[in-house]
Amino acid sequence: MTAASKKVLNETEQLRAEINHHNYLYHSLDQPELSDAEFDTLFRRLRQIESEYPELITEDSPTQRVGSIPLEGFTQVQHEVAMLSLDNAFSEDDLRDFDRRIKTRLEESTTIEYACEPKIDGIAVSLLYEDGRLVRGATRGDGTTGENITQNIRTVESVPLKLLGSGFPRRLEVRGEVYIAKSVFQHINKMAEEAGGKTFANPRNAAAGSVRQLDAKLTAKRRLAMFCYSVGLVEGGDLPSKHGEILARLKEWGLRTNPVIDIVNGAEDCIRYYENILMLRERLDYEIDGVVFKVNDMDLQTRLGLLSRTPRWAIAHKFPAEEGTTRLLEVEFQVGRTGAITPVARLDPVKIGGVTISNATLHNMDEIRRLDLVINDTVLVQRAGDVIPKVVAVRKEKRPKKTREIELPEYCPSCGSDVMLVEGEVIARCSGGLVCGAQRKERIRHFASRLAMDIEGLGDKLVVQLVDEGLVQNPADLYSLKVDDLVLLERLAPKSANNLLDALETSKSTTLARFIYALGIEEVGESTARSLAGYFGDLNGLKAANKDTLQKIPDVGPVVAVKIVRFFEQAVNQDLIEKLITAGVVWPEEKIETNREVLSGETYVLTGSLSQMTRNEAKEKLRSLGAKVSGSVSKKTSCVVAGDAAGLKLTKAQELGIPIMDEQALVALFLEHDL
């Protein structure tokens, strides 16, 4: 391979500059000058040069947005400046009170200037630029500690890998909201439906799931976007003295800000802005759940200061929950993976927030009794954002003479088995287990899910087809499927069938923790499955454990212990495990954690940054010693581990007199027990 000539080098630099310029026009200004075809021509030429001369590839090249090899997990990031939450206003009076408090605190009688912008319903993230180059992307997390999502953030087209122009601080942290446009969301769900895969509930869930993909190539396919709304850390440079001017400067440097941001004077102008955005809401191609108002003058922001978790100088005026009144036609009972019988309200269709609602959740029979709900009642249905609609109240004054009580069925609506209501629990359950078709489908869905056996391509609709056609009765049957069986299913071509069989074969090599989680033991989540695998080391030890032994494991209380014992006592579950192992499901031998008694019964909290290990590594080692690791400090906390730049958790621990350990003492503890 020959070295690149100066001419090729110049062309490469020119192409990158041109592509970055047109990306900025398209994503930040919404003023494209090139057609998609013309832009693609530039991009293909740059990719061609870089394939011929790999030494010319740079991290901030526009071609480097597709993601590299998948990560095993996310590392922790300590925010050098905390990412705070916002207080909420729910009425015009709340907003006027906010304005009044500011004037009182500042001892000002003049009108306050506010920066106003829509509150994007997405995922808050932090971008760190050093000398104009993107070096890190992180989630907000708990405000002080987030997750390093740099690989995924680099795939977002509206995030510049290198800032445009000049004059930016040496280190600049930019904050914003990552989201999925409504139009993109609809396309993603349509493609998933056509492929028989799982659809997302709403754009926010889709964005959250996309940002936290371990494989950035999957993130790139989701076409995320971002609006920047503030800055955090600023070192080695100055920014303007007004918030609105800072956003304008970010826009000059290639960062995308919301085009409907405005600067207004006083509370009444804020209210008018809110009303305008509320009317504009449905026409926007992104979800919003309110409006954010910030004192525009940065000096005034400093004078106003902060409360423990919120700034005094900003507030979010949330949109009202969307409600509608309709009639309850019927209540049906659905069966979940664990046999939970859940009542679902069937409603006379009503339009709420532009969406026609015909079903709503009722949770359980206790909720029905609390509402004093009967068939034919007029009910108030609430749809807050894109969550599942719920019945929140009954209009008893409109109750007709002809009504009918809602009764829990004696027999499962799916398989006819007895319905059980265990004393002390609010959830009724089907006793049918795997003989219940509904549980069978849910159990297989769970078995195939990403955190369990991770069988790519086995979506909800395909599971339903496999069970309904009698091809699969339990998870072990998946490994007996043949191409000839699969191609007979609707919309499953030979290539898709072979891809599914390849995915099934790949899934056979797993871990003990994943296998335990995949079994679907009631109340055994991913974390508990990991603890069980680490404690016993093999499946036989777990199967033979009694409830007293199980309760020695953190996160396993008496109720969970009983459910684990019952699961392994059932012949149908023993048979399933044997079939899976016979089918070739294997996992490497798990290292038995022998130090579980060291910190048994103790609760540790980590705060600040650690230099000799990641926070996740520290958590896992503490858990291996038997400790519970919590995210908050309380009177029940046994010890707080304080790293560098420890924050409010350390302060609270000192106030409560809780023992505090530094990183060196933590390392010594781990070394003492060969960790």
| Catalytically annotated residues | 119
Longest alpha-carbon distance in the chain:
89
In total, the chain counts a number of residues equal to: 675
Number of helical (H) and strand (E) elements in the chain, helices listed first: 24, 22
Residues β-bridged to residue 513: none
CA atoms of 512 and 587, how far apart (whole Å): 6
CA atoms of 671 and 673, how far apart (whole Å): 5
CA atoms of 368 and 384, how far apart (whole Å): 20
What does residue 665 show for φ and ψ, rounded to 5 degrees? Answer: -65, -35
What does residue 432 show for φ and ψ, rounded to 5 degrees? Answer: -75, -20
CB 155 within 8 A of CB 219: yes
The three-state secondary structure class of 120 is: strand
Find the angle CA(172)-CA(176)-CA(179) to the nearest 5 degrees: 145
Q: Which of 185, 217, 208 is nearest to 65 (CA)?
A: 217
Between the two ends of the chain, the Cα-to-Cα distance in Å is: 48
CA atoms of 406 and 431, how far apart (whole Å): 21
Neighbour count for residue 366 (Cβ, 10 Å): 11
CB 577 within 8 A of CB 628: no
CA atoms of 70 and 47, how far apart (whole Å): 22
Both tokens assigned to 84: 């705070």
Find the angle CA(183)-CA(158)-CA(194) to the nearest 5 degrees: 30
Q: Which whole-number Å values give the CA distances from 660 to 37, 246, 340, 635, 645, in the listed order?
A: 61, 40, 43, 13, 14
Both tokens assigned to 454: 């991770």
Amino acid at 60: D
DSSP 131: T
Q: Which whole-number Å values give the CA distances from 460 to 456, 457, 464, in the listed order?
A: 12, 10, 6
